[in-house]
């Protein structure tokens, strides 16, 4: 599980003890649309190309657990909006903090026109650290969300809106179906509810959730 292309993390150590991994896409060889979106302007530029600073590629990768009280909605954006927005039922799980990793890569070593290569690089880096995002996950329906952001981890931690992210800084975003993590054994797939590669606004809404609709 940890050596596949896009199974990036050990997410949780549940009880009874088992690991849950994250797939950034429908399978280990396919990257989610949420990390392959083009900008609105210019429409020929991938959102990830905003991460170039001089001769470096710099961004952070944030993993959040979003709990849902009083219900078990489906995966579609409209279902999550109805369950979460203005209800107070959905909150970012902060009992164990949030997982955030700053990524800095020489531009010469990575092909930003190939988002799958970017995620492969991130996955290889983070698998070497063998991170555990949460060893005691919530026992209510939970959505897992991954966001690539121009914000640094220090900026995110210091934000007056913590734990909400700056949606305008998002480069990519994907989320899972709600699940009871103690009942999952294996991997969970993350995706973005989009049928088009021009999905900047959906990425921003996903990153800003539950403040903004997905």
The predicted structure's pLDDT at residue 1:
28
Dump strand ranges (E) for the chain. 7-14, 18-23, 52-53, 56-68, 90-92, 99-106, 132-134, 142-149, 170-175, 186-189
Give the number of domains in the chain.
1
Question: Is residue 214 included in any domain, yes or no?
Answer: no
This prediction has a pTM of 0.89
The predicted structure's pLDDT at residue 3:
32
Question: Is residue 102 included in any domain, yes or no?
Answer: yes
Q: What is the pLDDT along the chain (214 residues), one digit of tens a residue?
A: 233 334 556 665 555 666 788 888 887 777 889 999 999 999 999 999 999 999 999 999 999 999 999 788 888 888 888 888 767 889 998 887 788 889 888 999 888 888 777 777 777 776 666 677 777 788 899 999 999 999 999 999 888 877 889 999 999 999 999 999 888 878 889 999 888 999 999 999 999 988 755 4
Starting from the edge strand earliest in sequence, which strands make up the sheet with 18-23, in order? 132-134, 7-14, 18-23, 186-189
Question: Is residue 169 included in any domain, yes or no?
Answer: yes
Identify any residues that bridge with 58 across adjacent strands, giving them in sequence order.
Answer: 104
46: domain range?
A: 7-208
3-state secondary structure 46-100: EHHHHHEECCEEEEEEEEEEEEECCCCCCCCHHHHHHHHCCCCCEEECCECECEE
Cα separations (Å) of 208 from 8, 29, 140, 205?
A: 22, 27, 21, 5
Question: Is residue 2 included in any domain, yes or no?
Answer: no
Question: Is residue 26 included in any domain, yes or no?
Answer: yes
Question: Is residue 21 included in any domain, yes or no?
Answer: yes
Question: Is residue 116 included in any domain, yes or no?
Answer: yes
The predicted structure's pLDDT at residue 129:
66
Question: Is residue 1 included in any domain, yes or no?
Answer: no
The predicted structure's pLDDT at residue 127:
66
């Amino acid at each position: 599980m940890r050596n596949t292309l896009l199974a990036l993390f050990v997410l949780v150590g549940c009880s009874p003890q088992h690991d849950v991994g994250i797939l950034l896409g429908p399978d280990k060889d396919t990257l989610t649309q949420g990390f392959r979106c083009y900008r609105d302007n210019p429409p020929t530029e991938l959102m990830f190309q905003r991460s170039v600073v001089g001769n470096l590629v710099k961004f952070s990768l944030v993993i959040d657990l979003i709990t849902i009280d009083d219900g078990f909605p489906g995966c579609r954006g409209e279902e999550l909006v109805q369950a979460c927005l203005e209800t107070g039922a959905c909150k970012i799980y902060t009992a164990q903090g949030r997982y955030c990793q700053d990524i800095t890569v020489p531009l010469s070593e990575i092909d930003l026109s190939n988002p799958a290569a970017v995620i492969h690089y991130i996955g290889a880096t983070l698998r070497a650290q063998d991170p555990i995002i949460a060893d005691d996950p919530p026992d209510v329906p939970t959505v897992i969300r991954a966001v690539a952001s121009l914000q640094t981890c220090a900026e995110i931690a210091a934000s007056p809106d913590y734990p909400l992210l700056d949606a305008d800084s998002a480069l990519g975003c994907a989320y899972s179906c709600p699940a009871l993590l103690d009942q999952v054994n294996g991997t969970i797939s993350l995706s973005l509810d989009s049928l088009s590669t021009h999905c900047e606004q959906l990425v921003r809404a996903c990153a800003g959730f539950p403040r903004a609709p997905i």
